[in-house]
């Protein structure tokens, strides 16, 4: 299933009516939220860590060129190679060429959202290679031919019944026909299939949560250990990472790691936090013979220093998705591109163009929960508002929306007329509701009233009620 960011409204409506999706989303529900809360309650220094992490990232971003070059030098000193890609196509070509150079047929992959961004699976398949996802969630959606619906839980939208049906359909060819019922059974069967893939892989591709300039290491956090098998068993290990992932030192990395796992899954630390620092050395028992890092820009250098600069601090923890009322109602596919939720609504228009994703900046109630929980203090609602300003400046959106906003802006600058108008509208809506307190149909607000009632105003605005009360109190004295 592929969707498009341009079709967000239609995608969202479809998602709301998808009973299987709603069941899966309800089940996932508050799990991440409760675990994060408990983890933070046990970490009194969270706010201090958040400030330190923000300062580390801001310092790094203001010297990004130096730290990236230092990282490259260290990778080379360790025996690896760094490759630079300005666009997704360049990055995908680089990966394909690296795989071709060693005659690769089978390629195992750990979870990499930047890999999704550059379409690496499609590029490998077009070149005649078989990429196999080894993260369980990614493996499930690869079987379903779907993109991830969450940046840390790619198959969160699937019910257990859907997963067992997928396994039945795809695993029969391995002679695995036993009906699966429990999660351990599902995990064991995936393990059996993937073990063979790990053993026959020529190249392993992983992402990176962090790059450390001081040591030339790439850091990967997983809970399944698949990242380590992907990195160590094949002859070649390729890391795909975006350029803003670099931090200066190991110590800086540990600050961010302490925030990452807690914000993402509520764990103190993920089950596997692996540091890869080059190919196998003579004294190592195992490891890849070659180590490559493909550094992807894809518009990030343009974000440096502009209005969207804070977004480069993102560590892809997913907390903003988990706490977003919009994401919780529609899941990730409705957003139509790699990154969903509030962080996706900021990033996607920057990466594929605002005109390709004009609805995403509106996919938020601006309630502010995302900014509140973001471990990197990214002001997501402000960034979404920036997109809205740009859209308005580009005369995007319907004529009705622009006229309504224009009228509202005119009114808001004239307080006396504004209060009179609001009071009048309030009174009219109150009368229209016939004192039921709710309105079933409202012209100009049909997308809202089509599926829910509109709460009717009390009959006068707060300001007018306040003024009336003050007058009465003045008269009583």
Interacting residue ranges for ligand SF4, rule: CB under 6 A: 263, 314-320, 343, 373-376, 378, 380
Tell the residue number behind the tokens 């990004």, with chain if given: 64
**Least Å from the CB of residue 375 to ligand SF4:** 6
Q: What's the distance, CA 60 to chain centroid?
A: 22
Identify which of residues 113 and 250 has a Cβ nearer to ligand SF4 in the complex: 113
The Cα–Cα gap between 55 and 44 comes to 19
Q: Which residues contact 277 (CB under 8 A, 6 or more apart)?
A: 78, 215, 216, 217, 218
**Least Å from the CB of residue 382 to ligand SF4:** 12
**Least Å from the CB of residue 323 to ligand SF4:** 8
Query: Residues for the chain: how many in total?
Result: 477
**Least Å from the CB of residue 203 to ligand SF4:** 29
Query: Which residues on adjacent β-strands are paired with residue 274?
Result: 220
Identify which of residues 253 and 374 has a Cβ nearer to ligand SF4 in the complex: 374
**Least Å from the CB of residue 215 to ligand SF4:** 23
Identify which of residues 80 and 266 has a Cβ nearer to ligand SF4 in the complex: 266
Instruction: Give, in degrees to the nearest 5, the angle at Cα 296 between 70 and 226.
Output: 95
Question: Alpha helices of 293-398 — where are they, by DSSP H?
Answer: 300-303, 319-322, 325-330, 341-352, 369-373, 380-393
The Cα–Cα gap between 266 and 39 comes to 5
Identify which of residues 25 and 317 has a Cβ nearer to ligand SF4 in the complex: 317
H helices, E strands: number in the chain: 23, 12
Angle of helix 19-28 relative to helix 8-17, nearest 10 degrees? 80
* Cβ–Cβ under 8 Å, residues 278 and 79: yes
Identify which of residues 136 and 343 has a Cβ nearer to ligand SF4 in the complex: 343
**Least Å from the CB of residue 36 to ligand SF4:** 10
Identify which of residues 259 and 294 has a Cβ nearer to ligand SF4 in the complex: 259
Identify which of residues 148 and 318 has a Cβ nearer to ligand SF4 in the complex: 318
**Least Å from the CB of residue 335 to ligand SF4:** 13
DSSP SS3 for 454: strand
């Amino acid at each position: 299933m592929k969707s498009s960011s341009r079709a967000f409204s239609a995608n969202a409506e479809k998602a709301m009516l998808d009973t299987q999706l709603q069941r899966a989303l309800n089940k996932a529900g508050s799990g991440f939220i409760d675990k994060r809360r408990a983890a933070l309650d046990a970490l009194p220094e969270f706010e201090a860590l958040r400030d330190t992490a923000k300062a580390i990232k801001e310092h790094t971003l203001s010297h990004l060129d130096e730290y990236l070059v230092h990282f490259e030098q260290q990778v080379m000193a360790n025996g690896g190679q760094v490759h630079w890609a300005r666009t997704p196509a360049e990055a995908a070509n680089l990966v394909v060429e690296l795989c071709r150079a060693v005659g690769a047929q089978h390629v195992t992959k750990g979870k990499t959202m930047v890999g999704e961004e550059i379409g690496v699976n499609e590029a490998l398949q077009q070149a005649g290679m078989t990429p196999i996802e080894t993260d369980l969630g990614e493996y499930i959606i690869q079987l379903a031919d779907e993109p991830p619906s969450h940046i840390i839980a790619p198959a969160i939208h699937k019910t257990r019944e859907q997963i067992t049906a997928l396994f039945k359909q795809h695993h029969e060819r391995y002679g695995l026909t036993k009906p699966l019922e429990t999660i351990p059974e599902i995990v064991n069967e995936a393990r059996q299939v993937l073990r063979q893939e790990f053993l026959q892989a020529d190249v392993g591709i992983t992402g990176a949560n962090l790059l450390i300039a001081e040591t030339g290491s790439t850091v990967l956090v997983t809970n399944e250990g698949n990242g380590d098998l992907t990195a160590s068993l094949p002859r070649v290990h390729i890391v795909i990472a975006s350029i803003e992932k670099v931090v200066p030192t190991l110590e800086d990395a540990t600050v961010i790691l302490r925030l990452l796992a807690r914000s993402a899954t509520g764990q103190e630390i993920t089950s596997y936090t692996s540091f890869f620092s080059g190919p196998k050395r003579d004294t190592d028992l195992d490891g890849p013979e070659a180590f490559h890092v493909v550094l992807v820009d894809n518009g990030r250098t343009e974000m440096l220093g502009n209005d969207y600069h804070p977004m480069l601090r993102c560590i892809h923890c997913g907390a903003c998705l988990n706490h977003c009322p919009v994401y919780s109602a529609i899941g990730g596919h409705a957003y139509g591109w790699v990154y969903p939720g509030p962080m996706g609504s900021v990033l996607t228009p920057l990466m594929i163009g605002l005109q390709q994703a004009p609805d995403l900046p509106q996919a938020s109630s601006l309630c502010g929960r995302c900014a509140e929980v973001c471990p990197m203090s990214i002001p997501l609602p402000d960034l979404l508002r920036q997109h809205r300003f740009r859209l308005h400046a580009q005369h995007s959106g319907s004529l009705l929306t622009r006229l309504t906003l224009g009228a509202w802006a005119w009114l808001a600058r004239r307080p006396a007329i504004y209060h009179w108008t609001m009071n009048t509208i309030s009174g009219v809506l109150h009368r229209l509701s016939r004192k039921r307190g709710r309105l079933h149909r409202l012209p100009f607000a049909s997308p809202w009233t089509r599926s829910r009632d509109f709460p009717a105003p009390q009959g006068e605005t707060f300001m007018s009620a306040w003024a009336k009360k003050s007058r009465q109190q003045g008269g009583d004295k």
